[in-house]
Amino acid sequence: MTQRVDRTCPSGPAQLSTQARGASMPHPAPDLRKRQRRAAPGRGAGLRVEWPTLAVAAAIYGGFGLLTWFHAALPWWVELPLGAYLVAWHASLQHEVVHGHPTTRGWLNRSLVFPNLWLWLPYEIYRETHLRHHRDRWLTDPVEDPESYYVTPQRWAALGPSQRGLLTARNSLLGRLLLGPALCLAGFYRREAGRLLRGDARRWRIWAGHAAAVALVLAWVIGATGMPLAQFLLLYVYPGIALAHLRSFLEHRAHPEVAARTAVVEAGPLLSLLFLNNNLHSVHHARPRLPWYRIPAVWRAERAAILAANRGYRFAGYGEILRRWAFSAKEPAAHPQDRVRPDGGVGARVAFAVETDASGMDAEGRAAL
């Protein structure tokens, strides 16, 4: 029996085929599940708050409010980079919330990112698919990993020249930034429309909540500041989605070993803040419960071990990535293996990933594993 795997794309693509092939990863053993429940945030504890993340939220919403309020006084070439940065920064804030930050109360965390600045993706769908992505043993699998940019070899063989050309172009950096958002949105909305037309009641509830989140943003942007919708889409939303695609461009690769599938990009302070240090992606996948402001210290302390584990999958910055792959594809779009080996040849690393991933989630998140 097969099942459909939902896919999103700020950190992964809209695939041309989404039919899963069989059951997913087995649940952890009972003793591991007990340790996960004990380690889950908020169990038996009072309210805890991570103030640096709240400061980021205040900067995002404050900056967004000021930029949109004074938009008429700004030239487009000033408004576009600032708007894109704030929208992509908000996406990074959503990612923090998915992993249980900045408080020990899930409802409070959700309310922090309720306004949906980039409009296109319901938070609950992003949350579900991203937690599935954190089953590290399936990283990059075209079917099991909802954020994989690969297609299966069989699907690649069935594609026509124009489709192959689009996927190849998307694997260059400029293609990912310019074409990636459009391909992502088209595939995502096509699949979601199918689910809604089939009468998926839960999906209808998610989209109803998302409509309220979008309405709140547009009430401010259009109603309060008088900005035309087209201006908001062209100078904020689309470039914001594109900027989020910059981080995901090289964060994962197909590799037989699980730990070697995740990269480290040593970005400068501006982009590190934008991505909330998620550019140090190997650290995040090893310790997904770690708050963003503690990631650099772990990277500095464990640099040698991390690079040994990920086989040196490291880049000095996004300038290096731009120079190497601005116009050329970084790799083929077809996955080099028929399917990902779930053990990855490093079973201990996988067991560690499963335990730490689940310990950083609430009951819903652990169930997704």
The pLDDT score that the predictor gives to residue 337 is 80
Q: What are phi and psi of 363, to 5 degrees?
A: -60, -40
Closest CA to 258 of 141, 164, 342: 342
The pLDDT score that the predictor gives to residue 7 is 60
The pLDDT score that the predictor gives to residue 45 is 61
Query: Residue 197: pLDDT above 90?
Result: yes
Q: In the structure, what pLDDT confidence band is assigned to residue 46 with cuts at 50, 70 and 90?
A: confident
Share of the chain above pLDDT 90, in %: 78
Q: Residue 265 belongs to what H/E stretch?
A: strand 264-265
Mean pLDDT of 250-275: 96
Mean pLDDT of 239-254: 96
Q: What are phi and psi of 252, to 5 degrees?
A: -140, 150
Q: Scanning the structure block, which residue is given the tokens 């999103």?
A: 8
Q: Which pTM does this prediction carry?
A: 0.84
Mean pLDDT of 191-195: 96
Contact in structure between 177 and 239 (CB atoms under 8 Å): no
Query: Residue 32: pLDDT above 70?
Result: no
Q: How far is 317 from 362, CA to CA, in rounded Å?
A: 34
Q: In the structure, what pLDDT confidence band is assigned to residue 8 with cuts at 50, 70 and 90?
A: low
Q: What are phi and psi of 143, to 5 degrees?
A: -105, -45
Share of the chain above pLDDT 70, in %: 79
Encode pLDDT of 111-159 as tens digits. 999 999 999 999 999 999 999 999 999 999 999 999 999 999 999 999 9
Q: At what angle do helices 123-133 and 201-218 cross, to 10 degrees?
A: 120
Q: Residue 87 belongs to what H/E stretch?
A: helix 76-98
Contact in structure between 369 and 342 (CB atoms under 8 Å): no
Q: What is the mean pLDDT of the chain?
A: 85
Query: Residue 178: pLDDT above 80?
Result: yes
Contact in structure between 10 and 244 (CB atoms under 8 Å): yes
Contact in structure between 36 and 21 (CB atoms under 8 Å): no
